[in-house]
Amino acid sequence: MTGDFMLPGLLALLFGYGFGSIPFGLILSRLAGLGDVRRIGSGNIGATNVLRTGNKKVAALTLAADMAKGLAPVLIVHQNFGLKLALLAGLGAMLGHIFPIWLKFKGGKGVATYIGVLAGLFWPSALIFCLIWLASAFTTRISSLSALIASALVPLSGIYSGTAQPLLLAGGLAMFSLIIFAAHHENIGRLIRGTESRIGGK
């Protein structure tokens, strides 16, 4: 970073982190009387684990909220300060969700927040991600694998986006996808062993 970019970049990163670190899964689950969602299933605060409580409405609200906390900071920064700072806001939002300071840096896997970030940067990328996820989930019935496949492919949408800075956008999306892969390292291990749970399975 140049000197002129360093401070705005840091502020964009922190702005995104502030949004991303809000633990909606934990908050909504407790408000609904479902207890601490970290004590069940995978122990994370994302919508997939909230769904394990059996409350689909709270899980859906968590999904929407986690998407919104990626969308809001990126959209605000993108519209007012451009793509470079918006990418840093998106990075902050994803890191905030995965490593929230309020929960001793133990959060969710970042998929829903990534979709929100995509929507704030270039909404067709968010749509492409969701379509790939749905097609893969229908075929494999494995949520984590579907997220990984969608994450691996969606950076290509940046290259062919027709935006003013397609390579910068694609590079940012690739960075976010690597974060998703890192957050799913345990899932990847189970996929290799053939022990990863399937959608609808116990």
143-181 pLDDT, tens digit per residue, is 999 999 999 999 999 999 888 899 999 999 999 999 999
**Assigned domain for 124 exists:** yes
**Assigned domain for 198 exists:** no
**Assigned domain for 100 exists:** yes
**Assigned domain for 202 exists:** no
Euclidean distance between CA atoms 157 and 122, whole angstroms: 9
**Assigned domain for 143 exists:** yes
Going residue by residue through the chain (202 aa), what tens digit of pLDDT does each one get? 566 789 999 999 999 999 999 999 999 999 999 999 999 887 889 888 898 888 999 999 999 999 999 999 999 999 999 999 999 999 999 999 999 999 999 999 999 999 999 999 999 999 999 999 999 999 999 999 999 999 999 999 999 988 889 999 999 999 999 999 999 999 999 999 999 988 766 5
Q: What domain range includes position 47?
A: 3-193
CB 136 within 8 A of CB 192: no
Contacts for 37 with CB less than 8 Å, ≥ 6 apart: 25, 26, 29, 45, 49, 50, 53
**Assigned domain for 200 exists:** no
Q: How many domains does the chain have?
A: 1
**Assigned domain for 199 exists:** no
Euclidean distance between CA atoms 189 and 176, whole angstroms: 20
DSSP states along 133-147: HHHHHHHH--HHHHH
